[in-house]
Amino acid sequence: MATFRDEDGSVTNLATIQQIVKPGLFYTTPSCIYRKNWKMAICPYKYAKLNIKIDASSPEHGQTESIMVRDDQPDSPETLTGVKTNEFLTILGGTHSYTLHWSNGIPRKFAIYTFCTKGVELNQYVRVGMCMPSDATFNLFTRTPLRPLKLVDWTEVQSIEEFDSDTLGDRYFWDKSIGMLFLKFMTATNQELILQP
């Protein structure tokens, strides 16, 4: 997935930080500028790559596709069919949220993760909802910003508003009425890119 962040405006000739992304409603908003000669869009957002991986031991491995929907563009989902890992580019900052769906049933075991070099930044998070049956059992874990390793270490909140106000990254909201489990991907540290000559 091609993307580039122009931190200093030297590529886009724009003063603010811009991300160059694939054109299309899933990736862009009306605030983006399409560059025809690049066949890419210039957007005033920071993005992170979220990786979706179905565990190889899951019977659904190779049998279902991951479908990510940006909630303000429900008619323009992004479907990826990678056998090992699917990478979705998401807008950071909490201004946009996403839901993860499956083409052929919810895998019994899957992971959503991000790498620090491609991922979330301090005060720049992404909210993701996942289809989940109301009688499902699940476990959550994270490596950052905290280290809750068991579901009992997480706090279930009772509303999406309470969930959205979370600043620690150890909350989840399970809306059983619609079958959706909500998580936030966030970090408590700055990411720095250090280039060595």
Per residue in 109-140, pLDDT (tens digit) is 888 877 654 566 667 788 999 988 888 888 77
pLDDT at res. 71: 94
Place of tokens 């083409």: 103
The residue that leads in pLDDT, 113 or 103, is 103
Per residue in 7-42, pLDDT (tens digit) is 888 888 887 878 889 998 999 999 999 999 999 999
Q: Which of 39, 3, 36, 38 is nearest to 20 (CA)?
A: 3
Residue 83 DSSP code: S
Residue 83, burial from CB neighbour count under 10 angstroms (0-12, 13-18, 19+): exposed
Measured in residues, the chain has a length of 197
pLDDT at res. 122: 63
pLDDT at res. 115: 61
**pLDDT mean over 173-181:** 91
- pTM of this structure: 0.83
- Whether the predicted pLDDT of 193 surpasses 50: no
**pLDDT mean over 164-181:** 88
**pLDDT mean over 46-74:** 85
C-alpha 66: how far from chain center: 13
**pLDDT mean over 45-66:** 82
